[in-house]
Structure 1
């Protein structure tokens, strides 16, 4: 899962980033409205943590931008401005949650998981596709009730394909979502092939009903058979 933190307070940003990376999220950061809007315009995120008070404007303007562009990222407002008016305005503009500062990191983690569960998995703790069950919060996979060991990137690839089930996922989108915006510096997508190959091998060896179909030169589709 990929998260963008929009926060101008450096220590707070670093604390949140370190905490979320320990939870195995892919984390990117922006320090102001302009930088955040540039990233949102180019990259896709599962969740955006948004401070309202930013040095170059009101963070709520980013919510208005997301709404105007019909972008589907989940948004949690994380702000020291614990006013009812700001909270109501943020929720009216499409924010999924509002968490006032200061807060415990455990509460932030719980809010993120709850929002992603509502957004992506209809509020369920697990996803069942054919004979395969996936537990996103625990990063576990079972096939026919048998535990399957996946490394971090294999699991992230599987989750992205599940979120886009039976739709074509282009290689640049998959690479950027799983490896982050540093992917722009890569010369090729060779590193993806080995992860996909290993993931396919594990699914096949456990007789999973999930099949990763390659669309030559373009990308992949996850099919349920």
Structure 2
């Protein structure tokens, strides 16, 4: 799952990013309105943690931009501005939740998981595809009740393809979602091919009733077999 943290306070930003990374999320950050606007315009996120008060703009304007671009990113407003008007405005503009500062990181994690379950998995924490099951909270995968051991990127790829089952996912979209904006520095997609190859072999060796189809020159699709 890919998360964007928009926060201008350095210490708070560092703590949030570090804590979310420990929960195995792909995390990107932005400390200014302009940088945040660039990121939400170029990339898609599963959840955005949005501070309202930024040094060069109002976070609520970013919500307006997401709406204009018809983005479906989940949004949690995380702000010290605990006024009822701001909360109502944010929720009416499409935010999923509002978390006032200060807060415990455990509560932040719970709010993020709740938004992801509602947005991506219809409120469930288990994703079932034939004989394959993904535990979203534990980041574990089982095939026919037997654990399937995956590395971090293999798990991220499988989860992203699973949430887009039967849809063609371009190599670019997959790379951006799993590797984040670091993908801009890559010369090619060889690192994706390697992870996909290993993941496909593991699924086949465990007799998973799903497979990852390669669409030459375009991307991948996860299908039931």
Q: Which range, TM-score by smaller chain?
A: over 0.9
Q: Does 1:196 align with 2:187?
A: no
Q: Does 1:64 align with 2:64?
A: yes
The alpha-carbon deviation at position 194 of structure 1 amounts to: 1.1
Quote the Cα distance in structure 1 between the aligned partners of 2:59 and 2:128. 37
Q: Does 1:2 align with 2:8?
A: no
The alpha-carbon deviation at position 209 of structure 1 amounts to: 0.8
Give RMSD over aligned pairs: 0.7
Counterpart for residue 86 of structure 1: 86
Q: Does 1:217 align with 2:220?
A: no
Counterpart for residue 172 of structure 1: 172
The alpha-carbon deviation at position 134 of structure 1 amounts to: 0.8
- Structure 1, 24-33 or 107-116: larger mean CA deviation: 24-33
Q: Would you say how many aligned residue pairs link Structure 1 and Structure 2? A: 225
For 1:1-225, list aligned pairs within 5 A: 1-225=1-225
Instruction: Deviation per CA, 1:77-103: give whole Å up to 9, x if none.
Output: 000001111111100000000000000
Quote the Cα distance in structure 2 between the aligned partners of 1:215 and 1:56. 43
Gaps of 5+ in 2: none
Instruction: Deviation per CA, 1:158-195: give whole Å up to 9, x if none.
Output: 01101111111111111111111111111111111111
Quote the Cα distance in structure 1 between the aligned partners of 2:220 and 2:46. 20
Quote the Cα distance in structure 1 between the aligned partners of 2:51 and 2:217. 40
TM-score normalised to structure 2 length: 0.98
Gaps of 5+ in 1: none
The alpha-carbon deviation at position 69 of structure 1 amounts to: 1.2
Matched position secondary structure for 1:90: helix
